Amino acid sequence: MMRSLIILCLTITAMAASADTVTPTRTLRPGTLITSADLTVREGLQPGMFDRVVEVIGQEARIALYAGRPIPFEAIGAPAIVNRNQIVPLFFNAGGLSITTEGRALERGGIGDRVRVMNLNSRATLFGLVQEDGSVKVTR
């Protein structure tokens, strides 16, 4: 039993040591949509960094990504579908009350991102979640 546990631990350690880290092949500016041509894999696993190319392709750079440096988890995200100053439909639903109006996005955001928006009628600043259709569902 002890021998098989030691062999299992050695196998897991060897697998972790042989893992790879994803790095850009060129410097990517914030807002750049990442393609497979932008990425390479370097030997060595680093905590908090991507180790699979498939997880990075199609994402958007949130900060500048420099060639040869590992990509941290928080450095990329879903591509923005709402841009700053864009007019977006706003929806609010609570307890049978449903309000629909227009607002101006005060920041960029991808699907599921929490963004600030300004209600064009009241000029109030609100927070909402970006929906798949580009609308914003206002939250309390």
Residue 87 lies in a domain: yes
Residue 29 and residue 72 in one domain: yes
pTM of the complete model: 0.65
When pLDDT is averaged across residues 90-105 and rounded to a whole number, the result is 94
User: What count of residues does the chain have?
Assistant: 140
What pLDDT digit, counting tens, does each position of 13-60 carry? 444 445 789 999 999 999 999 999 999 999 988 898 999 999 999 999
Residue 24 lies in a domain: yes
- Structurally, the chain folds into a number of domains equal to 2
Residue 42 lies in a domain: yes
Distance between CA 77 and CA 30 in Å, rounded? 11
CATH code (residue 51): 3.90.1210.10
Q: Which domain holds residue 111?
A: 80-138
Residue 72 lies in a domain: yes
Tokens of 84: 């700053």
The pLDDT of residue 78 is 87
Pairing of the two strands 39-43 and 20-24: antiparallel
The pLDDT of residue 14 is 43
Residue 30 lies in a domain: yes
Residue 5 lies in a domain: no
Residue 105 lies in a domain: yes
Closest to 17 in 3D by CA, of 40, 48, 51:
51
Biggest CA–CA distance in the chain, Å, is 71
